[in-house]
Amino acid sequence: MPAEKCQGYVIPANQLIAFMAKNFSKFQTLVIIQSTQQKDENDETGDESFMERIWMESPDRLRSQVTDHPMGRVKEPDMSYRQVLMANTAQRLAQILSRMGVNLHSVALTRIDGVIAYRIGDKESEQPKILVEKDRFLPLLLVYKASRPSVLETITVQFKDYKKMEEGWYPFEIIYTDGKAFKEIYTIHTLKANVPIDPALFVMPKREFAPEQVSEPEEVPAEEERLRDIIKKFEEKYQ
């Protein structure tokens, strides 16, 4: 009988997402100190490097602060991708990817940097997709449409240097590319999981995962001053 090619079994998207979500299911809160290297080909001032502290709480709370640069950030990246690295149900993670434009009905095997991975999403390079390592079900690459109206380009995020922690795996190097000109490289120096985070930290001016959905509270100067004092004490505690 003539030999025929046998197609390898490809796990359905919903199972892949469930396996991936399990890797991050214990990350309820995260406090990260990272160095950020910023490159912008359209900026003649050159590259920028600074330290940054990030607080995250599942499912969608985030605040970041530049700690050693008086001017702060010149450009704000889209941070939606960080939701993928927090505790989520498989259903919610599928909804996040779908909102990012990932086609959950298209699944195939592929390779990235010599590593076999599952691809959820369309094959074309500029189309939204997520590549998940075949052996450990860890996200290696995410391409998506930004949730922020100010970011029009396709965003590409690479997850590298995964390290095993008590709570699960986490990438200690992340490369963020906004279009072809703007890039940020994040290198994590310390990561604390499931530590208490004062809710007031997320009330002050902050960067949210989906800022267009956040309603601005009325300004109350006395209350703001009280919250600033709380946050100052909290930040001194985690210096």
How do residues 35-48 score in pLDDT, each as one tens digit? 999 888 776 666 78
Question: CA distances (Å), 145 to each of 7, 16, 76, 104, 158, in order?
Answer: 31, 21, 15, 15, 15
Whether 4 is in a domain gets the answer no
What's the farthest any 2 CA atoms get from each other in the chain?
A: 84
pLDDT of residue 200: 86
Q: Kindly report the pTM of this predicted structure.
A: 0.80
Residue 1 clears pLDDT 60, i.e. is over it: no
- The number of domains in the chain is 1
1 in any annotated domain: no
- Would 8 be classed as within a structural domain? no
Query: Has residue 218 been placed in a domain?
Result: no
| Full residue range of the structural domain in which residue 189 is found | 13-196
Whether residue 220 has pLDDT greater than 60: no
